[in-house]
Amino acid sequence: MTNQEKNCRARLHLVDSHRQCQHCQAEKLCLSFGLDQSIGAEMRDLIQERGPFQAGDTIYRQSDPFRSIYSIQSGCVKAETVTVDGRASVVGFFHPGDLAGLDGIGSKTYPTDLIALETTWICEIPYKELLDLCGHSPKLQSRFIERMGMTIQQHEQDWKVLRSDPAEIRVMRFLYQLHERNRRNGSTSPRVKLPMAKQDLASYLSLTPESLSRVLTRMQTDGYILKESQRVLVLQKSLEDELGLPVSRS
């Protein structure tokens, strides 16, 4: 199996961890950013830089034993689970600076697959050792726990939104968040590049690919966006107004 081989290669590809994070677009979001000298050094020893993963490569699999959490340096990954009836269902996307694998804490195994969507570098952080270090660094401890708390809150938010809002609003909100992330990273372009396939996005938004497609064309005819290419959209209007008030199309 070509795919399996590729995954194997990806898994075995380890990079010297002392390369000083030169692939990292997310240094300031790193758990170890700005720690005391000694703890910071221990942290850097702990972390395993891994990559590059290519689109489709598996970082870990559902029911693999849980050992590490992963910090995204560059690229983009998706987390998905396989439901009883065999359909895959995307439960999250992770961008540079995000921590993936937190949902494995408290279980013996990961509850999702983690799969790269494009060329991706990540930091593997062994969980047990991280906990040890947290015990010796209140700063690291509180930072880590806060990240988990923010994740919980984020889930709650997303959930609340996803529930009652119509398809178009869900898509708009997703694009808006992606665009906001770009802005925070210094971009000024109205272009939004979708790192994931449309079907992944549809699954994430709990839409069928057909519905997503229809929504995007409708948004184009309504002048909200312009489909520049398969993976790139250009925002034509600020979406904030639409999203601030829920569905009021006054």
Partner DNA sequence: CGACGGGTTGACTGGATTCAAGCCACGTGG
Partner DNA sequence: CCACGTGGCTTGAATCCAGTCAACCCGTCG
Stretch that binds DNA, among 12-20, 179-187, 194-202, 237-245 (CB under 7 A): 194-202
Q: By CB under 7 A, name the one of 214, 226, 236, 243 that touches DNA.
A: 214
Closest-CA residue to 144 (of 105, 188, 175): 105
Under the binding rule (CB under 7 A), the answer on residue 116 touching DNA is no
Q: Which is nearer to its own copies, 28 or 163 (CB)?
A: 163
Contacts of 79 (CB under 8 A, 6+ apart): 90, 91, 92, 93, 94, 100, 103, 112, 113, 114, 115
In the region spanning residues 219 to 238, those forming contacts with DNA, defined by CB under 7 A, are 227, 230
Considering just the CA atoms, what is the radius of gyration of the chain in Å? 19
Spatial distance between the Cα atoms of 222 and 113, rounded to a whole number of angstroms: 37
Interface positions with its own copies (CB under 8 A): 81, 83-85, 89, 91-92, 102-107, 111-112, 131-132, 134-135, 138, 141-142, 144-153, 155-160, 162-164, 206, 244-246
- Cβ neighbours, 10 Å, residue 10: 19
Pick 13 or 139: Cβ nearer its own copies: 139
Instruction: Select the binding partner of residue 216 from its own copies, DNA, none (C-beta < 5 to 8 A, by kind).
Output: DNA
**Of DNA, its own copies, none, which one does residue 213 interact with (CB within 5 to 8 Å by kind)?**
DNA
Does 167 interact with DNA (rule: CB under 7 A)? yes
- How many residues in total does the chain contain? 250
List the one residue out of 180, 138, 157 whose CA is nearest residue 39: 138
Q: Does 213 bind DNA (CB under 7 A)?
A: yes
Q: Does 175 bind DNA (CB under 7 A)?
A: no
Per DSSP, the three-state class of 71 is strand
Task: Work out the number of other CB atoms within 10 angstroms of the CB of residue 184.
Answer: 9
What residues pair up with 92 in beta bridges, in sequence order?
A: 79
Q: Binding residues for DNA, how many (CB under 7 A)?
A: 20
Asked if 207 touches DNA (CB under 7 A), the answer is yes
H/E/C letters for each residue in 131-181?
HHHHHHCHHHHHHHHHHHHHHHHHHHHHHHHHHHCCHHHHHHHHHHHHHHH
Based on the shown chain and the rule CB under 7 A, indicate whether residue 211 belongs to the binding site for DNA: yes
- As separate numbers, helices (DSSP H) first and strands (DSSP E) second, the chain gives 8, 11
- For the CB of residue 42, give the shortest distance to its own copies in the complex, in Å: 16
Distance CA 95, CA 55 (A): 14
Residue 16 in the binding site for DNA (CB under 7 A): no
Minimal distance in Å, beta carbon 221 to its own copies? Answer: 26
- Cis-peptide, bond into residue 96, ω within 30° of zero: no
230 touches which of its own copies, DNA, none (CB within 5 to 8 A by kind)? DNA
Question: Residue 116 CB, nearest distance to its own copies (Å)?
Answer: 19
Which one of its own copies, DNA, none is in contact with 227 (Cβ closer than 5 to 8 A by kind)? DNA
- The two tokens of residue 188 are 């000024």
Binding residues for DNA (CB under 7 A): 166-168, 197-199, 206-217, 227, 230
